[in-house]
């Protein structure tokens, strides 16, 4: 069925809002692009909350912890509570500590990623190496090649390689990840978005940053962010939501909309301020089709 267009249609927006109690909202490409918040977004979120809706921010961006996300939301005047934020770094940390439950002596995580992942692993008491460690911020040397090949540079306690968006990826760090995978570490990813919306443009997303690891190892990571239903199950468990009365809002079909469709939510809303345009779901082999769409999330303000 073709999605219902909400922009400039008061009746459609009212009916849309009546259908749902909870909105799961993607951030990059929906609320903002980089540090640029879209027009009317703070007011739109405030309007939803004033109507008694629960707004949960569900993001695949793993560079920030929930706490740092809360700071960003506040800075951009978007009303939110700490417990309303659910990121892929948090989702991954919870999966590792509560589901994987690695044995002592094999429970360290090698991180290809940023501070957000480190903070969330710390919060779950999961030991980790790599990540933002300044020792990895350098060129690879012949001694590194040797030490990786003979294993002397590798920490025998590493049981997981967790990859996410990393602005500091380099040959040395990726070569470490590759060698941990070759020695049997599990390969997990916070998310595999290929691009990252920023400054009204697209840069390299987590999926692109970890592509060397996937390519060289021949392994694909288990994804723990959208559209993985491991994340949906975790969100449902935490917020005790009624899926029929829940709507996923996002800008990407292959992460956000697929996440909502696969999770059998009551609905999905595609906003056109981010990665995908209408053509993406109009084509025959679209990965997922939303039930609603709007030019921007702020178009819901017609219901104010």
Binding site for its own copies (CB under 8 A): 34-35, 139-140, 142, 145-146, 148-150, 166-171, 174-175, 178-179, 182, 194-195, 198-205, 207-209, 211-216, 218
Which of residues 201 and 304 has its CB atom nearest to its own copies in the complex? 201
The count of other CB atoms within 10 Å of the CB of residue 274 is: 24
28 DSSP 8-state letter: B
Strand, coil or helix: 197: strand
Helix pair 66-75, 115-123: axis angle to 10 deg: 120
In whole angstroms, give the CA distance from residue 234 to residue 294.
Answer: 28
Closest approach, Cβ 162 to its own copies, in A, equals 18
Closest approach, Cβ 106 to its own copies, in A, equals 22
Task: Report whether 26 belongs to an annotated binding site.
Answer: yes
Give the C-alpha distances (Å, rounded to integers) separating 76 from 33, 72, 73, 101, 147: 12, 6, 5, 37, 46
- What is the Cα gyration radius of the chain? 20
Strand, coil or helix: 284: coil
Question: Assign residue 54 a region: left if phi > 0, alpha if psi is -120 to 50, beta otherwise?
Answer: beta
- Is residue 26 annotated as part of the catalytic site, yes or no? yes
Closest approach, Cβ 188 to its own copies, in A, equals 18
Task: Report whether 251 belongs to an annotated binding site.
Answer: yes
Which of residues 119 and 192 has its CB atom nearest to its own copies in the complex? 192
CB 43 within 8 A of CB 298: yes
Which of residues 123 and 204 has its CB atom nearest to its own copies in the complex? 204
Closest approach, Cβ 128 to its own copies, in A, equals 21
Residue with tokens 């390299």: 204
Which of residues 104 and 152 has its CB atom nearest to its own copies in the complex? 152
Which of residues 159 and 205 has its CB atom nearest to its own copies in the complex? 205
CB 33 within 8 A of CB 61: no
Q: Out of 9, 18, 21, 26, pick the active-site residue.
A: 26
Strands (DSSP E) found in 144-284: 158-163, 186-189, 195-198, 201-204, 222-223, 246-250, 267-271
Closest approach, Cβ 194 to its own copies, in A, equals 5
In whole angstroms, give the CA distance from residue 209 to residue 175.
Answer: 13
Closest approach, Cβ 287 to its own copies, in A, equals 14
Task: Report whether 9 belongs to an annotated binding site.
Answer: no
Give the C-alpha distances (Å, rounded to integers) separating 241 from 21, 53, 73, 234, 244: 9, 12, 23, 11, 9
Q: Out of 9, 18, 28, 139, pick the active-site residue.
A: 28
Task: Report whether 226 belongs to an annotated binding site.
Answer: yes
Which of residues 175 and 303 has its CB atom nearest to its own copies in the complex? 175
Catalytic residues: 26, 28
The annotation places the binding site at: 26, 28, 226, 251
The annotation places the binding site for Mg(2+) at: 26, 28, 251
The annotation places the binding site for substrate at: 226
């Amino acid at each position: 069925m073709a999605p219902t267009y909400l922009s400039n249609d008061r009746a459609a927006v009212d009916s849309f809002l009546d259908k749902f109690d909870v909105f799961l909202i993607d951030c990059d490409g929906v609320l903002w692009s980089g540090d640029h918040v879209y027009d009317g977004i703070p007011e739109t979120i405030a309007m939803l909350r004033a109507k008694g809706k629960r707004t949960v921010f569900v993001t695949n961006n793993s560079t920030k912890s929930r706490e740092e996300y809360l700071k960003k939301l506040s800075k951009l005047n978007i009303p939110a509570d700490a417990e309303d934020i659910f990121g892929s770094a948090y989702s991954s940390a919870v999966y590792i500590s509560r589901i994987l439950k690695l044995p002592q002596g094999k429970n360290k995580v090698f991180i290809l990623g940023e501070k957000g992942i480190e903070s969330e692993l710390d919060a779950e008491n999961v030991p980790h190496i790599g990540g933002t460690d300044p020792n990895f911020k350098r060129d690879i040397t012949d001694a590194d090649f040797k030490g990786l090949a003979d294993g002397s540079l590798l920490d025998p306690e590493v049981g997981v390689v967790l990859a996410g968006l990393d602005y500091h990826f380099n040959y040395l760090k990726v070569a470490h990840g590759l060698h941990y995978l070759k020695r049997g570490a599990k390969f997990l990813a916070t998310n595999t978005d290929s691009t990252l919306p920023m400054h009204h443009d697209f840069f390299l997303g987590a999926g692109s940053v970890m592509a060397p690891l996937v390519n060289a190892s021949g392994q694909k990571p288990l994804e723990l962010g959208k559209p993985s239903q491991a994340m949906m199950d975790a969100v449902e468990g935490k917020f005790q939501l009624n899926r029929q009365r829940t709507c996923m809002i996002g800008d990407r079909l292959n992460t956000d909309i697929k996440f909502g469709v696969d999770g059998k939510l009551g609905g999905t809303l595609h906003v056109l301020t981010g990665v995908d345009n209408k053509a993406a779901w109009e084509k025959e082999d679209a990965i997922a089709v939303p039930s609603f769409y709007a030019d921007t999330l702020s178009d819901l303000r017609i219901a104010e």
